[in-house]
Amino acid sequence: MNILIMGPAGSGKGTMSEYIVSEYNIPHISTGDMLRENVKNKTELGKQAKILMDQGKLVPDEVVNGMVKERLQQDDCQNGFLMDGYPRTLNQAEALEAICNELNKPIEKVINLEVNFDALADRITGRRVCSNCKATYHIKNNRPKVDDICDHCGSKLVQRSDDTVEQLKVRLSEHEKNTKPALDMYSKKGIVVNIDASVAPNEVWNSIKDALGKAS
Ligand code: AMP
């Protein structure tokens, strides 16, 4: 199945993506992770993207559209994929439509996670991410067995430089201004499922399974 997961920063896209890819055995394509990989490897693209990412601003559409087109042509996307953090603008949504038409991989379902501001702020500031395998934790709700160490691979946990309340506000207004029109495009096609993601992770996951079950 070809799935998009959408929702503002801190809505739980990363955690739910882990569940979805393991249940459906499809690759997780996160433009945020791809960009952070470029930043880590200090590529030219990474150096330019970091300045925007640290301000909570969007990287130019041409850059991410190109990255996604290349990624969707790889062999592991044959039987479906989960796209996370893309499209974030109407322009990106239209570019993705063109790419999907060309590759004959139509988007079948859009999972839209909805959460209020206070809950988002709490999640964002407490989030810790493994510097190696990208597993996510929370200092209150999802602690690692040993403080600051990843349960899966033993690497150090870090806080993303854009995981602050100030950046959250910027990212939410970006989301409202840019991503909402993309979501509206998919709503008109009748493939969006809105999920209340302010509840416990297992409840969110049950709602997602229901939504995807109906789609298959
Ligand atoms: P994320 O991990 O999805 O929250 O993305 C982190 C940051 O990477 C965002 O705040 C943007 O600066 C950048 N980014 C990720 N995906 C995109 C995208 N589809 N378009 C533009 N910028 C993006």
Give residue limits of the domains in the chain. Answer: 2-115+167-212, 127-162
- The enclosing H or E element of 109 equals strand 109-114
> Contact at 8 Å (CB) between 8 and 120?
yes
> Contact at 8 Å (CB) between 93 and 87?
yes
Cα–Cα distance, 33 to 40 (Å, whole number): 10
Active-site residue, 127 included: yes
Cα–Cα distance, 101 to 82 (Å, whole number): 17
So what's the pLDDT on residue 214? 53
Active-site residue, 88 included: yes
User: Cβ atoms within 10 A of the Cβ of 139, count?
Assistant: 15
Pocket of ligand 1 (CB under 6 A): 9, 31-32, 35, 52-53, 56-59, 64, 85-86, 88, 92, 162, 171
* Atom 12, ligand 1: residue with shortest CA distance: 53
So what's the pLDDT on residue 47? 93
User: Cβ atoms within 10 A of the Cβ of 116, count?
Assistant: 8
Helix axes 90-103, 61-72, angle to 10 degrees: 20
Q: pLDDT digit of tens for each residue in the chain (216 aa)?
A: 999 999 998 899 988 999 999 999 999 999 999 999 999 999 999 999 999 998 878 899 999 999 999 999 999 999 999 999 999 999 999 999 999 999 999 999 999 999 999 999 998 999 999 999 989 999 998 999 999 999 999 999 999 988 999 989 988 998 899 999 999 999 999 999 999 999 988 999 999 999 998 544
Cα–Cα distance, 5 to 18 (Å, whole number): 11
Q: Which of 36, 50, 71, 88 is catalytic?
A: 88
So what's the pLDDT on residue 216? 43
What is the CATH class of 2-115+167-212?
alpha beta
Helix and strand numbers, DSSP H then E, in the chain: 9, 8
> Contact at 8 Å (CB) between 6 and 110?
yes
